[in-house]
Amino acid sequence: MNKIFYDLNDKQIEAVKVIDGPVLVISGPGSGKTRCLTHRVAYLISQGIRPGSILSITFTNKAANEMRERISHLLEVKPQFNKGLISGRLSAMPMMGTFHSVCLRILRKEIPILGYKSNFSIFDTNDQLSLIKKVMANLEIDPKKYNPKLILNKISKLKTDLIFPENYNPAEFFTKIVSRVYNNYQAELKKMNGLDFDDLIVLTVKIFKRNPNILEKYQNFWKYILVDEYQDTSHDQYTLIKLLSAKNRNIFAIGDDAQSIYAFRDADIRNILNFQKDYPDAKVIFLEQNYRSTKTILAAAQNIISKNQTQVPKELWTENTQGEKIHVRETLNERAEAEFITDQMDGLLESGYKIQDFTILYRTHAQSRAIEEALITRGFPYQIIGGIRFYERKEIKDILSYLKFMVNPTDLISFERIYNVPTRGIGETTFNKIIATPEIDIVRSIGVLAKERGDTKQAKSLTEFKKLLTDLSDKKDDKNLTSIIKYVIKRVGYEDYLESLVAKKELYDNTADKMENLKELLTVSKKYDALGGGEGIEKFLEEISLLQETDKLKDAANRVTLMTIHSSKGLEFPIVFIAGMEEGLFPHSRATLVPLELEEERRLCYVAITRAKDRLIMTHAKYRNIFGRTEANLPSRFIYEMPQEVLKIQPLFVDNYFEDDVIEY
């Protein structure tokens, strides 16, 4: 028993010891949320509650496994999985998992009541999109006029809102199209004994609502329900939990409304804000003591989040030191921003920090490019969480290979990458014949083979390929580098090629994101536009090659971590850099005129700030080249929403942008 309460503060102990009835724990960042949750499960078991009657739901399998390990350590039992679902068999551990994994277990037993077989398949996103396109073709709905991805997203939203095909009767023209596709899509899924990811929760809710006896079976089995990150629950998840907990009402919800940042994934902040309306007798406990950050960092976070109207008021506090002021630096552009960040890291390394102590956060993945280049040039190994290094991304390498071949038509490595990008039906045998005699011009060799094949489909393909390469070669000296890259992308038909890969399930990424990365490549190319086309290509490729070669020399044991702010939730670092603190970027331009979206951006800033333990450094650029254009943005409003006395502001003076005057408030 002492082990369960060891190292818990009074509020955590209070939350752990409440056994019966609804409980809401508002857990601020760095306040020991996971510790509170795991110790509560251990306490319930220590009080004689059957482990199998406890259901603990998390948002990631990693979190569930971590909880399982901690609980087993507290109880000194093996961290085995509870395999006795609805069997009544005593298990040493409770049921722990994500919403989807728990529902999958339920459906394997109960789904025959809906007319499916228990061995159903689960369709991933690409399978879903392929089926949507097939359904649209059968219904003679033009995919160029009505975007299949948009329709799929709309169907996913309908499912999350628990709107089934039979209950969806819209009045507007487009939504009527969606309704037709939705009906047929769901029918096709059922015909193939398939479920999509949304169906795992949605069909479980459908079974529970239509079959009270089945619902009661699970209510009797799981008498104690714990939900982590309650602020991130969507409507279907909220409904599932409400149904399961309705009989015993032993629901323990823990989370932080101020860290609700996933509205784009259908998270509904109202679920946590309205908890006391759903359960008027709920006990509400606040975990406000922060064990992570300095007083200065907490003051900044508290001040920013206080500007939100939609929130549960709370006052974070800490016994940690006051700490350094928050450094806010304005730079001329994104390259100067990246240089400043690497300069700061150099100085901090000299003062005793390690390279793994640093993280660089940004609002969008496209911001990583300039930072990556600076890190590579300065010799800092790094890793990107939730993304691929910019120059290692497929779409970037494909277009660079075209440029390399334009400059050097004997470059067989680049030719090998592009000869079937897009797919041209050129097989390995034909490829080997093309490159059999390297001293012969490759383009000429393609023409020779085309003539040999006569009037065939492959001959036509080879002839078209030769014309493409000839056209590209002719253009390389006529235009500046940016125009050349745009021409390559268009002439090759690269966007259509990406779409074809998605359709064939050979690519599992978002086409729009990949095209955005190519736009970012245009940002890089602009600084070479003053040179002639051919010379610009050569200098551009040379610099990139040097960057990549430098990267190979670095020790990868310790690395700087780069990620979007959304990816950083739940993590902490001694030193945090937040790049791009600019209006239109952070907060994002699409949120500035919509109050609820602006509040979510503010919560995102709150999350970013509270990742920092020791020091927080923010940067913003006067001019930023991003997505292929130059933007001039004002500093983020979030800078002015922090207490000015905790800031050390380093402005940029346009007349002398090397000046390092510092303003301390």
Binding-site residues for ATP sit at 27-34
Q: At a CB cut-off of 8 Å and minimum separation 6, what does 462 contact? A: 424, 426, 430, 446, 447, 449, 450, 453
State the DSSP H helix or E strand holding residue 362, giving kind and residue range, or none if neither.
strand 358-362
Structure tokens at 272: 């946590």
Q: Tell me, what DSSP letter sits at residue 320? A: S
For the chain, the straight-line distance linking the first and the last C-alpha, in angstroms and rounded, comes to 49
Residue numbers in the known binding site are 27-34
Q: Is 393 a catalytic residue?
A: no
Q: Is 33 a catalytic residue?
A: yes
Q: CB neighbours (10 Å) of residue 390? A: 22
Q: Is 611 a catalytic residue?
A: yes
Phi, psi (deg, nearest 5) at residue 163: -105, 110
Q: How far apart are the C-alpha atoms of 573 and 624, rounded to whole Å?
A: 27
Q: Is 34 a catalytic residue?
A: yes
Of the residues 199, 229, 266, 520, only one is catalytic, namely 229
State the DSSP H helix or E strand holding residue 390, giving kind and residue range, or none if neither.
none
Name the packing angle between helices 61-75 and 33-46 (round to 10°). Answer: 50
Q: Is 289 a catalytic residue?
A: no
Q: How far apart are the C-alpha atoms of 4 and 2, rounded to whole Å?
A: 5
Of the residues 159, 611, 615, 624, only one is catalytic, namely 611
Of the residues 98, 128, 219, 259, only one is catalytic, namely 259
Q: How far apart are the C-alpha atoms of 239 and 11, rounded to whole Å?
A: 29
Q: Is 256 a catalytic residue?
A: no
Query: What are the DSSP calls for 324-352, one per residue?
Result: PPEEEEEESSHHHHHHHHHHHHHHHHHTT
CA 271 from chain centre, in angstroms, equals: 22
CA 169 from chain centre, in angstroms, equals: 33
How many residues comprise the chain? 665
Of the residues 33, 466, 602, 624, only one is catalytic, namely 33
Of the residues 110, 196, 199, 228, only one is catalytic, namely 228
Q: How far apart are the C-alpha atoms of 158 and 164, rounded to whole Å?
A: 7
Burial label for 526, CB within 10 Å (0-12, 13-18, 19+), is middle
Of the residues 34, 289, 356, 364, only one is catalytic, namely 34
Q: At a CB cut-off of 8 Å and minimum separation 6, what does 458 contact? A: 425, 426, 430
Instruction: Enumerate the active-site residues.
Output: 33-34, 228-229, 259, 611
